[in-house]
Structure 1
Amino acid sequence: ARGAAAVVRAADLQDPPETIPELVALWRDGGAVVWAVRGARVGETLRTRLTARIFYTFMRRALHMEMPPSGVDFFLIDRAVIDTLKSAPERNTSLIGQIQWMGFEQRSLVYTKQARASGRSKWTLSKKIKLSVDWLVGFSYFPIRFMSALGVLFACAGFTYALFLIVRRFVYVVPVEGWTSLICVVLITSGVQLVMLGVLGEYLWRSFDASRQRPRFIVERRQGL
């Protein structure tokens, strides 16, 4: 795109072109990114709507990004956003995730997503899974921190159970079966391993983050220069 702004929309005619003037109006009002947020979804099943809401709600919490809870794929971006996207050398990433990460001024409006005019959606489950992985790997510590937290939980459970068995054996003189001590060892060992994997993941994440060469800051506009 070579203009002052660009509109991104699907080619399946579900996003009405009549919404574009409203996007432009909000852009002229100062929004560098204008999201067209889905209100109603014509022709979509309850399962599709519910799945989309659960997916985007989880992503909002995992990524700490203010994306619409019903998802978005119809939007307008300013020339400054376009130039920043073009300068990014990243691969296997999410366009919406990149735009959210940049931190430009954002506006939104609600529209009704229409039914497909013809054909079937090519947005398969495998593509949705790949998008989820790209989002999580590219913009979130959540998987690494989750594994570390899980390791701490396992280790604490193992130590607590071991303490319980010791008290039971020496205070209440109750015999302890051999397999119970094995459970303690497995829990503690598994927990420590998960914590160490989380530590290694933190180092790998930092190396990965440095290799992407994302800018430390983004200049939205210059005045008086």
Structure 2
Amino acid sequence: MKKISIIIPCYNEQDNIGTLYDALSKIMDGNDGYSWNVLLINDGSIDNTLHEIKRIRNKDKRIGYIDLSRNFGKENAMLAGFDNVSGDCAIIMDADMQHPPHVIPEMIKLWEEGFDDVYAERESRGKESFMRKHLSLLYYKILEKTARMDVLPNVGDFRLLDRKCIESVKKLRETQRYTKGLFCWIGFRKGKVTFRQGDRNEGKSSFSYFKLFNLAIEGITSYTTAPLRISTIMGILVSFLTIIYMFYVFIKTILIGEPVQGFPTIIIIVLFLGGIQLLSLGIIGEYLGRVFYETKNRPVYLIAEKECPE
């Protein structure tokens, strides 16, 4: 009997754990041709999420948990799940019910047909602001144009991974993680299901615009050097235009002279060149910062307590 594991990172999800368990129980009980287990990763929650997980664990030993020592972030929590999961495949999903469990059997069907990575593409993004929706789509377009690999637009972490994909992702131990990019980077045969993303069941998302912006920067700087290339091209272009302008001023001064004027022009040029230099330094700093973090070679996460599912 094949074993299917479900990995669920949790941060302050005390009001959603019970509803999620009820929905997953129906899926697991209705597909008894497989052996099931669920691994919930408590990512430093400050509410009663761990208490709720333990309560469910006490009545259903198919449920296991990992309690991280602090909040390491969703990307690192998923790695903790990959390191400790035991199934022949693993399904990654969120705890807030935005990833509908009823899609899971469809994922399994494609997996049985030979697909190693079955990803879920959103047909709609649920209750989401106009700005957030279009900024997300714009980000995917930018990443798709700049990355040296295929990028799956409008696809999140909701997916099924075969054991060979799990083992491949486990080898990638970088501390600055962007898992959506890692899933594309490892390759393997990919299949697609579509779903309508639901609204969050309870509570509010921990991803503010600032955190989403940081995640976007993480994705761009982790999987493409395009910003460095753009900085180089801008530097060459500005230098070329400066040389042309220098010759223009030189010839004009020789032919017709030049009175003492041009203060606004000088200020504009100085500010423009200064801005280009600061932008370039900032881009270089982003990449250098990632080198700094990787050279520390710290563990990606620390476990305070865990109970493996049976």
TM range (shorter): 0.7 to 0.9
What's the Cα RMSD here? 3.5
Q: 1:211 to 1:81 in 2, by over 3 A?
A: farther
Q: 1:91 to 1:157 in 2, by over 3 A?
A: same
Counterpart residue identity of residue 10, structure 1: D
Matches within 5 A, 1:46-61: 46-61=130-145
**How far apart are residue 46 of structure 1 and its match?**
2.3
Aligned-partner Cα distance in 2 for 1:10–1:155: 49
Identity, in percent, stands at 28
Structure showing the higher strand proportion among its residues? 2
Contact residue 155 and residue 187 of structure 1 kept, 8 A: no
Aligned-partner Cα distance in 2 for 1:125–1:189: 30
Q: 1:36 to 1:180 in 2, by over 3 A?
A: same
The equivalent of 1:18 in structure 2 is 102
Aligned-partner Cα distance in 2 for 1:193–1:133: 19
Matched, 1:7 2:91: yes
Matches within 5 A, 1:1-225: 1-173=85-257, 175=259, 177=261, 179=263
Report the 3-state secondary structure (helix = DSSP H, G, I; strand = E; otherwise coil) of the residue aligned with 1:73. Answer: strand
Q: 1:118 to 1:192 in 2, by over 3 A?
A: closer
**How far apart are residue 13 of structure 1 and its match?**
0.4
Q: 1:44 to 1:58 in 2, by over 3 A?
A: same
Counterpart residue identity of residue 254, structure 2: F
**How far apart are residue 66 of structure 1 and its match?**
2.7
**How far apart are residue 130 of structure 1 and its match?**
2.5
User: Stretches of 4+ moved more than 6 A in 1?
Assistant: 187-194
Report the 3-state secondary structure (helix = DSSP H, G, I; strand = E; otherwise coil) of the residue aligned with 2:157. Answer: coil
Counterpart residue identity of residue 119, structure 1: G
Report the 3-state secondary structure (helix = DSSP H, G, I; strand = E; otherwise coil) of the residue aligned with 2:98. Answer: coil
Q: 1:77 to 1:39 in 2, by over 3 A?
A: same
Aligned-partner Cα distance in 2 for 1:20–1:140: 32
**How far apart are residue 174 of structure 1 and its match?**
5.2
Is there any run of 5+ residues in structure 1 with no aligned partner, and where? 213-225
**How far apart are residue 178 of structure 1 and its match?**
6.5
Is there any run of 5+ residues in structure 2 with no aligned partner, and where? 1-84, 297-310
The alignment's TM-score, normalised by the length of structure 1, stands at: 0.76
The alignment's TM-score, normalised by the length of structure 2, stands at: 0.57
